[in-house]
Amino acid sequence: MKIALIAHDEKKNEMVNFTIAYEHFFQKQELYSTGTTGKRIMAETNLNIERLMSGPLGGDQQIGAMIATDDIDLIIFFRDPLTAQPHEPDVSALLRLCDVYRIPLATNSATAELLLKSIESGDFDWRKHMKK
Ligand SMILES: O=C(CO)COP(=O)(O)O
């Protein structure tokens, strides 16, 4: 599965801890991230991630483009709802594209955990069938 991992600054520690906790799962996936999120995760796990630009410099838009070309299956995006982001339009555009293309999106660790457990039990195979 092609999975994008993104976290705003205040949520980066939580993302790192989440990827450590589920490293066994993420090792089996094809991972993408925005620049700084990926750098942090790779520094603290053994995961291999293809890093795009940093979010405020176009990384969110790059991941949005991957959604449009059917190159992302799932997004885990730990958003910070308490801090204004200079690139809020990019964030909104990314979330919008998830709905346009019906891409599963977790914006917090509780939802992300449920999605991962669901994938592990085979509930997400419908995406593979849709692509056939
Ligand atoms: O800003 C982000 C998402 O909107 C994340 O970008 P970084 O991973 O580069 O910090």
Band (129; pLDDT cuts 50, 70, 90): low
Domain ranges, ordered by start, for the chain: 2-131
Whole-model pTM over 0.90: yes
pLDDT in tens, 28-37: 999 999 999 9
Q: 63: CA distance to ligand 1 center in Å?
A: 11
Binding residues for substrate: 8, 12, 34-37, 54-55, 87
Band (123; pLDDT cuts 50, 70, 90): confident
Any ligand 1 atom below 6 A from CB of 91: yes
ipTM, two decimals, is: 0.98
Taking domain 2-131, whether its CATH number is 3.40.50.1380 is answered by: yes
Write the DSSP string, the chain: -EEEEEE-GGGHHHHHHHHHHTHHHHTTSEEEE-HHHHHHHHHHSS--EEE-S-GGGTHHHHHHHHHHTT--SEEEEE--TTS--TTHHHHHHHHHHHHHTT--EE-SHHHHHHHHHHHHTTTTTHHHHHH-
Any ligand 1 atom below 6 A from CB of 52: no
Average pLDDT on 20-43 reads 98
Any ligand 1 atom below 6 A from CB of 34: yes
Band (58; pLDDT cuts 50, 70, 90): very high
Band (127; pLDDT cuts 50, 70, 90): low
Average pLDDT on 97-117 reads 97
Q: 55: CA distance to ligand 1 center in Å?
A: 4
